[in-house]
Amino acid sequence: MRQLRQRDTQLISTIAFRRICITLGSFILLTLAWAPGQAADELILDPKIVLEPEIIVVTEPLDPIVGIRADWEIQFSTLNRKSTTPQIIAVMSPDGTVNGDYMILELNHSSLPNFSKGGLQIQIWNYDQEQSWSDVYFAGKECQTDTERIRFTMEMKLVDDVNSKTGKRLWFRVLNLESTTWGRIATFSEFGIATQLTSLNAFSANQCLADSGINAGASQVDYMKIDSVDYLYKSGRSAGDSADLSVYSTQVKVDTTLDTFTLTKALAY
């Protein structure tokens, strides 16, 4: 009987010892890893490699920009009435480049489908290919007033569109034009194009400056500038940048005082 009890005790001790060895062995296997650059037999203890794998997180804007308005102003000096000048273009792009879709406003001339003097024209381009364009507004009517001031707003809006293959549509338009030559125009033609964009966060006012300017007759223009840029966010909130951005100026310093006209447009956005 005593031998039987001793055998049972030894058996229980053996089983318990084996369980301890298995548990310890599992822990070692889980916590051992090869260090980068070391040989396979040179092991280090680093439990984080196994227990805390790397997680890559892709972040998107929580409140993306979906609308942008840029308010422009052009001031003439003394005009040369014997030439079709000045010829001016203003450019607006949603992504800070002209490699994709963007809008051009031509003032005091138009170029599509053929060159025409005077008037205004809106064009939509993709890189170096014209996509669509408006009829010429006030065709043949040229600027003839010395010291004339022209103001207008260029706008982009990104909207959901179930009828678009991409689910998004980007709208371009020009509005709130005021001038002596062409009078006041509340809004021009609107152009909507399907787009892969999910926000207008990549917009760059500096790109507008770089690609806009005076093609001919620069000596007849005192300055061309962006008065302000207003941003509309998906949540409905808006924000504005009222710092003047000069595209062209014959003056040492461009007047940066916002007048009632500009402030009214910014507040009404």
Strand ranges (DSSP E) for 46-195?
Answer: 65-76, 87-92, 101-110, 116-126, 129-133, 149-160, 168-179, 183-194
pLDDT on residue 20: 54
In tens, the pLDDT along 49-58 reads 444 444 444 4
In tens, the pLDDT along 2-48 reads 443 444 455 445 545 555 554 555 444 444 444 444 444 444 444 44
pLDDT on residue 68: 97
Residues of the chain below pLDDT 70: 1-61, 243, 250-269
Q: Which of 204, 222, 205 is nearest to 214 (CA)?
A: 222
pLDDT on residue 49: 40
pLDDT on residue 250: 65
pLDDT on residue 245: 76
Whether 173 and 189 have beta carbons less than 8 Å apart is answered as yes
Distance CA 158, CA 22 (A): 62
Say if residue 36 is preceded by a cis peptide, omega within 30 of 0.
no
pLDDT on residue 233: 96
pLDDT on residue 48: 43
DSSP-derived secondary structure letter, 189: E
pLDDT on residue 17: 53
Instruction: Record the pTM.
Output: 0.70
DSSP string, 107-133: EEEE-SSS-EEEEEEEEEEETTEEEEE
Distance CA 16, CA 60 (A): 54
Query: Which residue type sits at 92?
Result: M
Q: For the chain, which residues make up each domain, given as ranges?
A: 2-51, 65-268
Q: Which of 72, 66, 62, 64 is nearest to 205 (CA)?
A: 72
pLDDT on residue 5: 46
Q: How many CB atoms lie within 10 A of CB 228?
A: 23
DSSP-derived secondary structure letter, 137: B
